[in-house]
Amino acid sequence: MKIKMFITMFALFAIVLTSCEDNKKKEQEENERIEQMEAEREAQMQAEKEKMEREANSIAAKAMETDTLSTLVSALESADMAEMFMVKEGPFTVFAPNNAAFDKVDDATLESLMKKENQDKLGELLKYHVVQGEITSEKLVGLINDNDGKYTFSTVVGADLTASLDGEKVILTDEAGNKVTVVQADVDASNGVVHIIDGVVMRKAS
């Protein structure tokens, strides 16, 4: 009888012990799940914060903050390219024509390019001003000097620009033979660098 009672008590103790261990395990698993959810939430918030900081310092944001680039900003919006320079990480090097540069373009031509039906043509023109990768003015001058005074590089549309020096000024020559000058270099952005130029570069007419 005593043995039977002992066995019963032992069984009850084992059940209670197992139940306690199960509860502890469930509690631990729940705590781990909560910690993981919290870590994921914090990581998401950090990623969102970093994204907002990148966009606030992006090429598009820098252009929007610069009064002399207001025509370029309008052109980017017309070509549906503003978001590209806002959210894409790049890096890009942008040779950005200032307002005076666009003033040199024939009014009828510029007005035509800004029309919705010519969005693709405008996009091609603007992309001719963009290079994949980050090229600072110091790096560009070094490349010019290392290549006998001229350095040719390809833009994102596959067309070339040639950089040279006139004293300390960097000159760009487009496929049509037009020359423009970098008037402000190294505007740093989160997804690249901007060099402001005094003319609009054009591809060679096909």
Residue type, 47: A
Q: Which CATH number fits domain 57-197: 2.30.180.10, 3.50.50.60, 3.40.390.30, 2.40.10.10?
A: 2.30.180.10
Cis peptide bond upstream of 97, omega within 30: no
Query: What residue ranges in 29-159 does DSSP mark as E strands?
Result: 92-97, 130-132, 150-154
101-110 confidence digits (pLDDT tens): 999 998 898 8
Q: What pLDDT score does 196 carry?
A: 97
Beta partners for 166? Answer: 169
For residue 71, CA distances in Å to 87, 107, 121, 164, 181 come to 21, 13, 16, 26, 18
**What share of the chain in percent tops pLDDT 90?**
58
Contact of 63 with 71, CB cutoff 8 Å: no
77-128 confidence digits (pLDDT tens): 999 888 878 877 789 999 999 999 999 998 898 889 888 899 999 999 999 9
Tokens of 21: 């261990």
146-169 confidence digits (pLDDT tens): 999 999 999 999 999 999 999 999
- What value does the mean pLDDT take over residues 38-55? 71
Question: Which residue ranges make up each domain of the chain?
Answer: 57-197
- Put residue 159 in one of left, alpha, beta given phi > 0 → left and psi -120 to 50 → alpha: beta
Q: What pLDDT score does 148 carry?
A: 95
Q: Which residue has the higher pLDDT, 188 or 45?
A: 188
Contact of 57 with 49, CB cutoff 8 Å: no
The answer, yes or no, to whether residue 41 has pLDDT greater than 90, is no
